[in-house]
Amino acid sequence: MISGIKMSIKKVPLLMAVVTAIRHHLSKRKVRKILRERSQIFVEVGAGDKKGQGDWITIDLTRTCDIYWDLRKGLPFPNESLEKIYSSHFFEHLSFTEAQQFLDECKRALVQGGMFSICVPNAKIYLEAYVKGIALDPDKFFGWKAAYNRTTRIDYVNYTAYMAGEHKYMFDEENLLYILELKGFKNCRLRQFDPNLDLRERDFESIYAEGEK
């Protein structure tokens, strides 16, 4: 009986790999269909459980979004096929190296003059609160309660830096623009909150920027 359980456990990763491969195959078919039907393609990467609205297509490793895809494998679109790429609160979950590699993928997939738009948490809010002794409202600034330990102010930093193991990199305005310019994006600039793209409930903690290929 125990040996049978062990065999079943060993089969689970293989089964998941097969399921993922099938989903990726179906997603590639969706992409080909999109390429045939649309003259302009706008993609939101790392969208989570969200369907695209209007001209936007969402992509992530969830079954709810428009295209199921592991973004660690890059983007399932050919060179110079996307007009716009948008990312909201996704890049802080990538290491610096992973982000650099993914930005290369974004540049590859964008048409010349295509726009890359990004939104990330502003770590400066939490760092300044720690250094200057500013009290932050837990209900407003620590929305994911599981990641906030409520010890001393150093947990302001732990929250934004690590997010209980979910975060890998911190951004401020200067750094975000520098990283986009480092990848060769042109006319990199900070932008204002866009109600058609950005999450209003996270506006208070967000930095917005954009650049062109």
* 41-65 pLDDT, tens digit each: 999 999 999 999 888 999 999 889 9
- Residue 1: the pLDDT is 46
Pick from 120, 76, 108: which is nearest to 185 by CA?
Answer: 108
Taking all residues of the chain, what is their mean pLDDT, rounded to a whole number? 91
pTM for the full model? 0.90
Where are the domains positioned within the chain? 40-122+171-212
- Residue 28: the pLDDT is 84
Q: Across the beta sheet with 56-60, what order do the strands follow?
A: 67-68, 56-60, 42-45, 82-88, 110-121, 206-212, 186-190
- Residue 11: the pLDDT is 56
* 146-160 pLDDT, tens digit each: 999 999 999 999 999
CATH number of 40-122+171-212: 3.40.50.150
- For residue 7, pLDDT over 70 is answered with no
Between residues 196 and 4, which one has the greater pLDDT? 196
Average pLDDT over residues 115-124: 98
Using a pLDDT cut of 90, give the percent of the chain over it: 81
Angle at 131 between CA 99 and CA 169, to 5 degrees: 10
- Residue 24: the pLDDT is 78
